[in-house]
Amino acid sequence: MPRIIPNLWFDTEAEEAAAFYTSTFPNSRVVAVTRYGEAGPREAGLVMTVELELDGQRLVAINGGPEFAPTEAVSLEVRCESQDEIDEYWSALTTDGGEEGVCGWLKDRYGFSWQVTPVQLEDMILDSDQEKVDRVMKALLQMRKLDVAELERAAEGAAV
């Protein structure tokens, strides 16, 4: 079975970003670092790729150059078990230049988009009760960082 490994394109910040990401997520590590050689296309010695593992998920950070920038069309989702986890990852990923978005989305300091979501959200939006789903979605659309208690209140029919 093939493995799908996301590659994140940087100009020159791949190693710095890998250190940031591996310090943010538990059970994470840098697996391998490769450098450009004399054949290029970038200057010899510059980090070309950093293969990393974020809590078991392999990624590759590549210093490909300034030609491409991250876009909101692709995001990385962090499914959290508790509000404390949501708060922790939200804070870590928005620090030092990150930007809050809406509906649990944010951009980190490198411009990559993340969704920081509670594991309960999937059940809430897949519920067979469409009115319940609509209440949850209405509450979610008013949030930046997601608030599990507010989403649960909306699911139960309480005013938000």
Q: What is the pLDDT of residues 71-104, one digit of tens each?
A: 999 999 999 999 999 999 999 999 999 999 999 9
Q: What percent of the chain is modeled with pLDDT above 70?
A: 99
Query: What was the pLDDT predicted at 39?
Result: 95
Q: Tokens 């209440």, residue?
A: 135
Which domains can be identified in the chain, with CATH numbers?
Answer: 1-68 (3.10.180.10), 70-160 (3.10.180.10)
Task: Give me 152's structure tokens.
Answer: 């649960």
Mean of the per-residue pLDDT values for the chain? Answer: 96
Strands 99-100 and 105-107: antiparallel
Query: What was the pLDDT predicted at 2?
Result: 77
CA distances from 78 to 27, 103, 131 (A): 14, 13, 27
